[in-house]
């Protein structure tokens, strides 16, 4: 689509600016974007993101932090399903 091409072009321009800047701290981010650019620009096709999955993972992480080490995995999974399913 036209929007996808525009997004890909903008991403490529950003990547080139980062490369030219010489900031080594951006190398990891730039490499990740380079490795996943096809998935990133797919956003323009169906306008969906993985935000809901990331949100769910954050909830699980926060829930797990409350227990500071789970001894009974079965009960932990049961509580997760009761709270978030």
Is residue 18 within 8 Å of residue 30, measured between CB atoms? yes
Res 13: pLDDT: 92
| Structure-token pair, residue 63 | 């829930």
Rounded average pLDDT over 21-26: 84
Q: What is the C-alpha separation between 22 and 77, in angstroms, rounded?
A: 46
Q: Which residue has the tokens 């932090």?
A: 65
pTM over 0.75: no
Average pLDDT score over the chain: 85
């Amino acid at each position: 689509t036209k929007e996808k091409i525009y997004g890909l072009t903008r991403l490529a321009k950003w990547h080139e600016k980062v490369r030219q800047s010489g900031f080594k701290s951006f190398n990891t981010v730039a490499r990740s974007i380079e490795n996943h650019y096809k998935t990133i620009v797919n956003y323009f096709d169906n306008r969906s993101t993985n935000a809901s999955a990331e949100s769910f993972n954050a909830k699980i992480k926060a829930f797990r932090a409350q227990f500071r080490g789970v001894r009974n995995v079965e009960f932990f999974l049961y509580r997760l399903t009761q709270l978030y399913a």
